Structure 1
Amino acid sequence: MRYSPLLTDLYQLTMLAGYLEEGIADTPAVFDLFFRHNPFQGGYAVFAGLDPALSYLEGLRFAEDDLEYLQGLGLFRPAFIDFLRSFRFTGRITAMPEGTAVFANEPLLTIEAPLAQAQLVETALLNIINFQTLVATKGARIVHAAAGGTVLEFGLRRAQGPDGGVSEARAAYVGGVRSTSNVLAGKLFGIPVKGTHAHSWIMAFPDELTAFRKYAEVFPDNCVLLVDTYDTLQSGIPNALTVARELREQGHELVGVRIDSGDLAYLSRESRRAFDEAGFPDVKIVASNELDEYVIESMRSEGGRVDIYGVGTRLATCAGEGGGALGGVYKLVRIGDRPRLKVTSDIAKATLPDRKRLLRAVAPDGSFIQDVICLDAEEVLPGDTVYDPTNPLQYVTIPREARLVELRSTVMAEGVRTAPSPPLDDLADRTADQLARLPRGCLRFINPHRYKVSVSRRLNELRLQLMNEVQRGYRR
């Protein structure tokens, strides 16, 4: 999918024009993209959106009609329009693979490029990474709640526009939702497409049984019947059983039934009992209707017998406490040979300066212990003291038995990917593996365990030094 270079905020272009006028457009710059709070008040996030972000950077070109539009705004001088005509991204990107479990304050992407290039791409990168990471996280939470049940994504009609619906299906897959009702997403990304029929199919025929029979005639080997148009237990299930028997006599089997309203835990239990007693234990029970991780967990705790969860609106819109937006930010951490940081009265919002690495301490059994952010050339070892980035007076020691693993690598050099795109299945597998290795408390939906993310000694000292320098400067 090609993204327009005009997918940006106007101030990115006005800053670029200013950098050009001031002669600093080619100054080397380093930016970090990160978020300050885990989404959904949860214990983790799932990184997603890297592949489309790299595609955006590789294809970044201003067409003549783009330049004509910008020229028509009356804001920019001809020299700036000419500058954009040959604009290309030639920088370096450092990131972890999609599907990695990540946490607040960790640099997801580091962008190293001439200042003008690194500045222009801010808005689009935030747009791509924020949304897809948020959706992948929501998808992972829903899959965890399903506890081995299948989750089907069908949020297209409630998604944030056509591109949002396509991006959401991809990101949900990274989170572990491995099928979609979105046919375009199926074509673009190779995602298996699934679906049943709507209530309108039932109402288009004289009665429910006729509607079921007609659907079974058209799709005898892929027949899932929506049973709640009139009355799930008094009409829908008995009629579905009739069709199940007729299909079996013809050498086919009913695949499943879908319940889209009512007390889903109770109705799924009764539906399961009815099909089991009638000799159809393999018929799947599909549930839908405003499902999310909390509803699914509640249904299971009440003894629901759902095999497949159809999740739409609340996945596509990332609804829920602490959802809606990831809140990722993009901050300058070095320009030329000078480290930079943003300083506020709240140290929790002060950024981490300079080029950095992201390490993960892994226990001998493969489980994750904590993460450490350090300076690029700094050596960090098990047994070292590391500091809380929001409160430098708090510190912990990296366990001596831990193994420190680099989470990030160079994924783009001189504007070109360093490796081909991995299959989506690999990314979803990575997500499952990562979450299995987190402390169990991180997966709780209520009051999750706070996974430790620390900063190294030298990074902590550099940040405090730069903060003191800035404060001395404005107190003079």
Structure 2
Amino acid sequence: MSEARITDLYEVTMAHSYLAEGMTAPATFSLFVRKLPPGRGFLVAAGLEPVLDHLARVRVGEDDVAAFAEVLRRPRRELEPLLGLGFGGEVRAVPEGRIVLPGEPLLEVTAPLPEAQLAESFLLNQVCHQTAVASKAARCVLAAAGRPVVDFSLRRTHGVDAAEQAARLGALVGFAGTSNVAAAHAHGLRAVGTMAHSYVEAFGDEAEAFRAFARSHPGPVTFLVDTYDTVAGVAVAARVLRELGLHDGCAVRLDSGDLGALAVRAREVLDAAGLPRVRVTASGGLDEHGVDALVRAGAPIDVFAVGTLVGVAADAPYLDAAYKLVDYDGRPMMKLSAAKATAPGAKQVFRGPGFADTVALRDEPAPSGARPLLEPVMAGGRRTRPRPSLAASRALFEADLAELPAAARRLTDPEPPRAVVSERLRRFTADVRHRLEDRVRRAGAPGPQPRAG
């Protein structure tokens, strides 16, 4: 399916109307998150790279025009003005991996109005979903307190594209691997995994199942030990590992029950068998809260595998985000709706030490000691720099995380930093609001009334 059709109907009808009215002057749209989801102290910017790929290749073709005409139940010739519409504008954005706060633009698009409008749905879809998942995954890294975290989310995410994104985003914030083979191959990630309970059941005997698995995969192996009785399964795994002379890099995996208590018993069994270097991996319904509880309890777990709850960002699966027009043809634009008012004008975010962030107009000078977050990433519909590596994006994340105040990193009752609005932007917003409200009042005033008689 053509990417031009991955849009909401009203984007098509608005773009068509703009073209019909000759409204093709440059427009700037700003994409931002209004407020953090409950329980969050920060967000990790993500989704930019797929957005740039989309903008670089999207173009309305003959088949797209036919599809638009069909869904609108209109003659095809009426939709032909859309033919060839693509994206030839510019994008300024916060690079993937940077930590951001509510009210700060994650990206701004400037392009002829129909082009910028048609991009809205795809951009919100990608940035919102990926930022939500990356932010959830980052909290798991915090909870693990230095222990490896791996992604097991493929089977439970909302589609295979979302699963690939979850694996990539986990790596972006520091995950050690993924069970998703396609994602591992595509992004150069470490592929990890063990066996299913069905594998053990198929053999009928745990020891024979473990031996067979080790024969097929003679490198470091991980045995799933909770198919029948977890503690007994650990003992069987220990016996097979000793029998085969396997130690370094091997592990047992706990996937059910009281993971903390079972990890203690598993560690005791492995140590008693002379296998202190065999690790304990835990999975099964874990997210940052479950991982944090196990770490705080001192559970001897070496690796955490997270899946469903992280891959779908279960406790905060969406962001209250918007893509709003802030300038058209050199005229500042803003929305006045109650509780959803926006600030006019193209913007920049300046970050001072300790996340002292300032949202300002784009052409304002940076406050002393602050640096800009939004960078030019596309001009003339083309990328202005090479695609960054995952390692480079992860380095941005790690640097921001180290600077983020401890209160914002808390998993429970975090206190996020608050971005301030520059005085110049504040005055500009007030002036534009006053002019718009005056225009609305004048437009709504009754005209001259005819005299009686």
Q: TM class, shorter-chain normalised?
A: over 0.9
C-alpha distance after superposition, 1:352-401 (max 9, x if no partner): 21011110012xxxxx241001112223434xxxxxxxxxxxxxxxxxxx
1:56 alignment partner in structure 2: 54
C-alpha distance after superposition, 1:417-448 (max 9, x if no partner): 01111111221222122111111111012221
> Which of 95, 107, 110 lines up with 2:108 in the alignment?
110
> Which of 370, 385, 399 lines up with 1:419 in the alignment?
385
Cα distance change of structure 1 residues 109 and 186 upon mapping to structure 2, 3 Å threshold: same
Cα distance change of structure 1 residues 331 and 22 upon mapping to structure 2, 3 Å threshold: same
Q: Structure 1: which amino acid aligns with 2:279?
A: K
1:357 alignment partner in structure 2: 348
Q: Structure 2: which amino acid aligns with 1:239?
A: V
What fraction of aligned residue pairs are identical, expressed as a percent? 39
Q: How far did residue 165 of structure 1 move? A: 1.3
Please give the TM-score of this superposition, normalised by the length of structure 2: 0.94
1:281 alignment partner in structure 2: 276
The more displaced of 431-440 and 175-184 is 175-184
Cα distance change of structure 1 residues 404 and 303 upon mapping to structure 2, 3 Å threshold: same
2:8 alignment partner in structure 1: 9
Q: Aligned pair 1:345/2:344, yes or no?
A: no
Please give the TM-score of this superposition, normalised by the length of structure 1: 0.89
Which runs of structure 2 are paired with 1:265-276 in the superposition (5 Å)? 265-276=260-271
Q: How far did residue 76 of structure 1 move? A: 4.9
Q: Find the aligned partners of 2:4 and 2:208 in 1 and give their Cα distance.
A: 53
1:325 alignment partner in structure 2: 318
Q: Structure 2: which amino acid aligns with 1:105?
A: G
2:88 alignment partner in structure 1: 90
> Which of 305, 313, 321 lines up with 2:308 in the alignment?
313
Which runs of structure 2 are paired with 1:7-406 in the superposition (5 Å)? 7-24=6-23, 26-76=24-74, 78=76, 81-233=79-231, 235-248=232-245, 253=248, 255-320=250-315, 323-346=316-339, 349-362=340-353, 368-382=354-368, 403-406=369-372
1:455 alignment partner in structure 2: 421
Q: Find the aligned partners of 2:84 and 2:110 in 1 and give their Cα distance.
A: 19
Kept after mapping to 2: 8 A contact 1:89/1:117: yes
Kept after mapping to 1: 8 A contact 2:16/2:82: no
Cα distance change of structure 1 residues 15 and 254 upon mapping to structure 2, 3 Å threshold: closer
Cα distance change of structure 1 residues 215 and 326 upon mapping to structure 2, 3 Å threshold: same
SS in 2 for 1:157: coil
Q: How far did residue 140 of structure 1 move? A: 0.4
Q: How far did residue 102 of structure 1 move? A: 0.1
Q: Find the aligned partners of 2:214 and 2:38 in 1 and give their Cα distance.
A: 41
Q: Find the aligned partners of 1:240 and 1:4 in 2 and give their Cα distance.
A: 50
Q: Find the aligned partners of 1:123 and 1:83 in 2 and give their Cα distance.
A: 20
RMSD (Å), alpha carbons: 1.7
Q: Find the aligned partners of 1:178 and 1:61 in 2 and give their Cα distance.
A: 38
Q: How far did residue 220 of structure 1 move? A: 2.1
Q: Find the aligned partners of 1:212 and 1:43 in 2 and give their Cα distance.
A: 43
The more displaced of 448-457 and 69-78 is 69-78
Q: How far did residue 80 of structure 1 move? A: 5.5
Q: Structure 2: which amino acid aligns with 1:21?
A: A
Q: Structure 2: which amino acid aligns with 1:371?
A: D
Cα distance change of structure 1 residues 466 and 109 upon mapping to structure 2, 3 Å threshold: same
Q: Find the aligned partners of 1:231 and 1:178 in 2 and give their Cα distance.
A: 29
Q: How far did residue 164 of structure 1 move? A: 1.4
Q: Find the aligned partners of 2:39 and 2:188 in 1 and give their Cα distance.
A: 32
Q: Find the aligned partners of 1:63 and 1:189 in 2 and give their Cα distance.
A: 31
Cα distance change of structure 1 residues 68 and 475 upon mapping to structure 2, 3 Å threshold: closer
Q: Find the aligned partners of 1:102 and 1:58 in 2 and give their Cα distance.
A: 25
The more displaced of 237-246 and 65-74 is 65-74
SS in 2 for 1:328: strand
Aligned residues: 442
Q: How far did residue 192 of structure 1 move? A: 1.6
The more displaced of 194-203 and 59-68 is 59-68
Kept after mapping to 1: 8 A contact 2:16/2:79: no
**Unpaired segments ≥5 residues, structure 1:** 363-367, 383-402
Q: Find the aligned partners of 2:242 and 2:438 in 1 and give their Cα distance.
A: 83
Kept after mapping to 1: 8 A contact 2:55/2:381: yes
1:387 alignment partner in structure 2: none
Q: Find the aligned partners of 2:324 and 2:35 in 1 and give their Cα distance.
A: 16
Q: Find the aligned partners of 1:47 and 1:3 in 2 and give their Cα distance.
A: 27
Q: Find the aligned partners of 2:418 and 2:310 in 1 and give their Cα distance.
A: 27
Q: How far did residue 56 of structure 1 move? A: 0.5
Q: How far did residue 72 of structure 1 move? A: 2.6
Q: Structure 2: which amino acid aligns with 1:173?
A: A
Q: Structure 1: which amino acid aligns with 2:146?
A: G
Kept after mapping to 2: 8 A contact 1:220/1:254: no
Q: Structure 2: which amino acid aligns with 1:454?
A: V
Cα distance change of structure 1 residues 80 and 406 upon mapping to structure 2, 3 Å threshold: farther
The more displaced of 337-346 and 149-158 is 337-346
Q: Find the aligned partners of 1:327 and 1:179 in 2 and give their Cα distance.
A: 30
Q: Find the aligned partners of 1:171 and 1:276 in 2 and give their Cα distance.
A: 35
